Amino acid sequence: MRIIRAPTLARAHELAVRTVLEKGWVLDTENDEATIECEELALEVESPESVPMASPASRFQQRFLDVYADNLLHGSDAKFEYDYHRRLFDWGEQLMVNGEDVHVDQIDYIARKLEQAANSRRAVAVTWNPVVDENLDDCPCLQLVQCLLRNGKLQMKVVFRSNDILSAAGSNMYALVRLQKMIADRLGVPCGRYTHIALVPHIYYRRDLNDIEPFCKSGTEIRPVAEVCRACGKCPRSSGA
């Protein structure tokens, strides 16, 4: 596992993109999409609310991020195979206990658990629902959220089974830190460290080719593996890759 420590979410995102592009290997997914993936990443941001929270290299900026975060925190009318709001605030789709549908607000549970026991390690929420997800074409990437109260601050640790580092990770981190802030406010404490673990970090280097160059800056900021440079072809470095 590679550990990246950065002062802001924006810098953590940039360093994660760089790591995947420079240290990764090419692999087609089970859906025949061309990706470059690398070993596990752990991104640690000590003060996650510090600005900038979005990298200027990303095409997803403040307006988009705020809408995305609002959908995670409050839900949306849009229809998807799954959504993180429901998985975190209303877990239990297609499950029943004692003849009643299961509805678990896991975020409320996290807050209540830490109100009851400030040193608890059990303030955890999960998203995976085997009854549903084993049959979905598009299943949750975020798997686990854990919150800890340490040194008077609320820490958050999240685990992604798979994470699109270029196009999704920046939005994911922003929205989850907003969730961290929501829980911290309920507890009356500031936010502490945010740790973002991606078990299979990857980039769709052909699909999202145009989004790579603002991070790469024609090979001056990032020197991607040869396959990515050949696919891009936008700078002199690609001809020698």
Give the domains, in start order, of the chain with CATH numbers: 2-239 (3.30.572.10)
Identify the residue whose tokens are 């990303």. Answer: 58
Cα–Cα dist 109/74, whole Å: 16
Task: Output the CA–CA distances (angstroms, integers) from residue 23 to 52, 195, 222, 228, in the order listed.
Answer: 25, 21, 11, 12
- For this structure, is 147 an active site residue? no
Query: What's residue 197's pLDDT?
Result: 98
pLDDT more than 90, % of the chain: 90
Catalytic residue among 141, 147, 191, 232: 141
pLDDT in tens, 86-111: 999 999 999 999 999 999 999 999 99
Cα–Cα dist 223/232, whole Å: 12
3-state secondary structure of 12: helix
Which range, of 136-140, 158-162, 192-196, averages the lowest pLDDT? 136-140
Identify the residue whose tokens are 């040194």. Answer: 151
- Does the predicted model carry a pTM greater than 0.75? yes
